[in-house]
Amino acid sequence: MTIQVTVNGAPTDVADGATVAVLVADRSSGHDRVAVALNGGVVPRSRWTATALSPGDRLEVLAPTAGG
């Protein structure tokens, strides 16, 4: 059983009951300073394991890069 969410602009199927922590672990290899936005709000790292995804959720999984 999966649900569909949008991750970084792309439709993505995740397991029903998956959490932000699961998604971050899947998407952020090579990055150790990740920040997550869920439906236009910040999900603090301390809340990742307790935050379950719902159908239609919009997530942004972000990491440091160079910038001026």
Partner 1 sequence: MTTTDLVPALEQEEAADPFTVAGEVFTSRLVLGTGGLPSLEVLEDVVRASGTQLVTVALRRVEAAAGSSMMEVLSSCGVRLLPNTAGCMTAREAVLTAQLSREAFQTDWVKLEVIGDDRTLLPDGVELLDAAEQLVADGFIVLPYTTDDPILGRRLADAGCAAVMPLGSPIGSGLGIRNPHNIALLREQVDVPVVLDAGIGTASDAALAMELGCDAVLLASAVTRARLPVQMALAMRQAVEGGRLARGAGRIPRRWHAEASTSMAGLPDL
Q: Which parts of this chain interact with partner 1 (CB under 8 A)?
A: 8-9, 27-28, 30-37, 40-42, 44-45, 60-68
Tell me the chain's radius of gyration from C-alpha atoms. 12
With contact defined as beta carbons under 8 Å apart, do 37 and 7 qualify? no
CB of 45 to partner 1, least distance (A): 6
CB of 8 to partner 1, least distance (A): 4
- How far is 67 from 10, CA to CA, in rounded Å? 24
CB of 34 to partner 1, least distance (A): 7
Question: Residue 11 or residue 65: which is nearer to partner 1 going by CB?
Answer: 65
